[in-house]
A and B are shown apart, each in its own frame.
Chain A
Amino acid sequence: MENVSKTKMVEAPEGIAGEGFFATRFDSVIGLARANSLWPLPFATSCCGIEFMATMASHYDLARFGSERVSFSPRQADMLLVMGTISKKMAPILRQVYEQMSEPRWVIAVGACASSGGIFDTYSVLQGIDKVIPVDVYVPGCPPRPEQIVDGVMHLQELVKNESSRRRNSDEYKELLASYNIE
């Protein structure tokens, strides 16, 4: 018994298994693959970024969820993590980073400032990044603990797993991007 690996594998999607074959939906396989290899792009401007560093480090180890490789180029990233206060002057830059990511792309707003402006209810601060880009998951907290960030990532994994592979071509999605004036 000592030789049994403690490695926890992800569960196979619903399907029909037989001797030497396994049949399931194409969407579920793609969803499974995507959800367990989300490459994060950290956009950290303040204290939430420090919490994210703890999340990435050995103790909390976001790599367990397939987010081993932190991408510092938007072009190779799937998951944009916006952490910290975004000033209005920074908003066009954040938007440009989002536009440079290739589809499919997801966004997590980490912390109160990224979600709503937080305590900075003032003329110079963007009142939530959803004013300039669409957001999939909001993580509350000021700053959130690494557990909360991991929880946010796991919620996103659920979204990714269940996303239809046609969603990005749907009229609804195009309408959403159009409402943000993103091509």
Chain B
Amino acid sequence: MALDTLEIQNKLQEAFGQKVNHFRTEYGVFVLEAEANSIVEILQFMKEDKTLNFHFLTDLCGVHYPENENSEQFCVVYHLHNWFTNTRIRVKTFISGTQPELPSITSLFESANWMERETYDFYGIIFTGHPNLVRILNMDEMVSFPLRKEFPMEDSGRTDKDDRFFGRTINNC
């Protein structure tokens, strides 16, 4: 009783129209893009609809696309899984670089709590409605969001490491 990708697409387009778009299959997983403001309703529909039944949140993470225009700088990716038909799906949603805000989905999936905190920790994406949006992996005193591309990977406070001994020159780092 496999779940057909076309069926998923039709169901979602019927319910949400243009708010869901760019349906495609990448690396063997069906992918779609969803509008940021309606993300909670879309995921709730996918979770609660009797045929779709994507009831398990496998992963939630952020991506920074520095090349994109400002309105699509950040992306939040939701990986959902339907255990009954063993179907996986990826939902991507793009948000702006100047005001990276997105509604929290902790009301739908309890497991999103720590994953949203992690995404906030590394990308500074604000999940509105999250019960406790504080850093989870990095130290509390940190001021940067380290996986944003504008922050250098190296510890800026280092004093005893000479770049030449680490194979780094201005051109290759």
Contact B146 A127 (CB under 8 A): no
| Chain B, interface residues (CB within 8 Å), range | 10 to 19
Q: Does B164 contact A (CB under 8 A)?
A: no
Beyond A123-B144, A123-B146, is A117–B155 a contact (Cβ under 8 Å)?
yes
Number of chain A residues whose Cβ lies closer than 8 Å to a Cβ of chain B:
13
CA distance A122 to B158 in the complex (A): 9
Please report whether the interface of chain B is mostly helix, strand, loop or mixed according to DSSP: loop
**Chain B residues with CB below 8 A from A123, complex form:** 138, 142, 144, 146, 151-156
Beyond A89-B138, A89-B139, A121-B166, is A127–B160 a contact (Cβ under 8 Å)?
yes
A92 to chain B, nearest CB (A): 8
Contact A117 B154 (CB under 8 A): no
Among A86-135, those with CB < 8 Å from B are: 87-89, 91, 116-117, 121-125, 127-128
B154 to chain A, nearest CB (A): 5
Q: Does B22 contact A (CB under 8 A)?
A: no
**Chain A residues with CB below 8 A from B154, complex form:** 121-123
Top 3 closest pairs, chain A to chain B, by CB: A89-B139, A127-B158, A123-B146
Please give the residue numbers on chain B whose beta carbons come within 8 Å of chain A beta carbons, in ascending order.
137-139, 142, 144, 146, 151-161, 166
Please give the residue numbers on chain A whose beta carbons come within 8 Å of chain B beta carbons, in ascending order.
87-89, 91, 116-117, 121-125, 127-128
